[in-house]
A = this chain, B = another copy of it.
């Protein structure tokens, strides 16, 4: 692994966990097993390193989801696949949502370049299915936002939910596993005619 890759990997870990304000170049350097000065040699500044990491992570995170929405199955099946893929992705990147939310909160320009055409396309398709009478008449935007909320929230609010529900780590993992079926049931119930 090259020095640059070591830095990027360490920076991803630290920035995702601690955010921009909470992250320290010293900590990133230690995590990479390198010297602080090298971070500046390769990336000039903390801000620059952060931007590189944040933009790459966002590009990596969002479009992965678009794919499943354009396969040749029914809308409800698409959404069920979406739930599985999204929860997989979140399990592998539990810090991503909070990181993304905080980053955009601090600097709204960060989303400027994020692709949104695939979502617009999907919303149009959703409306078509409603007009065809294949699913219940419902606001597609409200529904999609709700579905994403239900997927993301248990990861973002994990420590709070664990406390409120009096769960240990293992129990919460099981809870997240059970959630897949639960969310699919919600989707079918809400959209079926």
Contacts and interface: CB of A to CB of B under 8 A. Distances in A.
Interface of A: 18-19, 21-22, 98, 100-102, 104-106, 108, 111-112, 114, 116, 119-120, 138-139, 141-142, 145-146, 148-150, 152-154, 156-157, 159-161, 163-166, 175, 178-179, 182-183, 186, 189-190
Contact of A102 (B102, B152, B165): B102
Chain copies in complex: 2
Given A146-B150, A152-B153, A178-B142, A160 B104 contact: yes
Contacts of A104: 159-160
A139 B119 CA distance: 31
Given A104-B159, A149-B150, A159-B108, A166 B116 contact: yes
A73 to B, nearest CB: 23
A56 to B, nearest CB: 17
A72 to B, nearest CB: 25
Contacts of A149: 149-150, 152-154, 157
Contact of A164 (B102, B108, B116, B183): B116
Given A19-B102, A189-B189, 10 more contacts: A19-B19, A98-B105, A111-B163, A116-B164, A116-B166, A138-B182, A145-B161, A146-B182, A146-B186, A149-B149
12 contacts: A98-B105, A102-B102, A114-B164, A116-B166, A120-B166, A138-B182, A146-B150, A148-B153, A149-B150, A149-B152, A152-B153, A153-B153
B164 A101 contact: no
